[in-house]
C-alpha cells in the first residue's frame, strides 16, 4: 500500500522547513523507507533546479535509513544518488551491505586480473 502523503505540487512548492517536518513525521509514524527516500530524492531534484536551501536536506534521516534499515528494492535503485551524504569508509561499508553479490563479482574479477597480470608480459611498442 503506497499512499502518497505529499503531492508533487507540495514537494515543489512548500518551504524546506515545512517539508522536512512533514517527511520526518511521515517516516517516524509509518517507517516507510521507500516512499521517504523517493521524497528526499525529489527534494534533491529541486535543489538541482536551483533551490539552494535543499542542499543535503534531511541528511540525518537519509543516513539513518541507509544504515539501519533493510536494503529494499527502492533503496538499491536510488542508492548511488545519496553517495555525497556519506564519508568514503561508510560508503564502502554500505555498498558491501547493500550489494553483496555484486561486490563478490567485482572482487573475483579483480583477483583474476591481478593473477593474469603476473603471468602476462608487459606490452611494448617495439616489434
pLDDT digits 0-9 by tens, 84-99: 999 999 998 898 888 8
pTM of the model: 0.73
Nearest CA-CA partner of 98 in 69, 76, 73, 77: 76
pLDDT of res. 110: 82
What is d(CA 58, CA 35) in angstroms, rounded to the nearest whole number?
14
Residue 77 CB partners (closer than 8 Å, separation 6+): none
Asked whether the predicted pLDDT for residue 114 surpasses 90, the reply is no
Asked whether the predicted pLDDT for residue 127 surpasses 70, the reply is no
pLDDT of res. 1: 47
Nearest CA-CA partner of 107 in 99, 69, 10, 127: 99
Query: What nine digits make up the cell of 5?
Result: 502523503
Q: For residue range 37-80, what is the model confidence (pLDDT) as tens digits?
A: 999 999 999 999 888 888 888 999 999 999 999 888 999 999 99
What is d(CA 108, CA 102) in angstroms, rounded to the nearest whole number?
10
Lowest mean pLDDT among 5-9, 28-32, 78-82, 115-119: 115-119
Query: What nine digits make up the cell of 70?
Result: 533493510
pLDDT of res. 23: 94
Asked whether the predicted pLDDT for residue 8 surpasses 90, the reply is no
- How many residues are present in the chain? 127
User: What is the rounded radius of gyration, in angstroms, for the C-alpha atoms of the chain?
Assistant: 20
Query: What nine digits make up the cell of 16?
Result: 524546506
Summary mean pLDDT of the chain: 86
> What percent of the chain has a predicted confidence (pLDDT) above 90?
51
Amino acid at each position: 500500500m503506497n499512499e502518497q502523503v505529499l503531492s508533487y505540487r507540495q514537494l515543489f512548492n512548500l518551504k524546506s522547513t515545512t517539508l522536512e517536518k512533514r517527511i520526518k513525521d511521515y517516516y517516524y509514524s509509518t517507517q516507510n523507507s521507500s516512499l521517504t527516500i523517493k521524497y528526499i530524492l525529489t527534494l534533491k531534484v529541486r535543489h538541482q533546479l536551483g533551490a539552494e536551501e535543499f542542499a543535503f536536506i534531511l541528511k540525518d534521516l537519509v543516513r539513518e535509513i541507509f544504515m539501519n534499515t533493510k536494503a529494499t528494492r527502492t533503496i538499491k535503485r536510488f542508492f548511488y544518488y545519496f553517495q555525497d551524504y556519506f564519508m568514503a569508509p561508510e560508503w564502502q561499508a554500505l555498498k558491501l551491505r547493500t550489494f553483496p553479490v555484486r561486490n563478490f563479482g567485482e572482487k573475483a574479477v579483480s583477483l583474476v586480473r591481478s593473477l593474469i597480470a603476473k603471468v602476462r608480459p608487459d606490452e611494448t611498442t617495439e616489434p
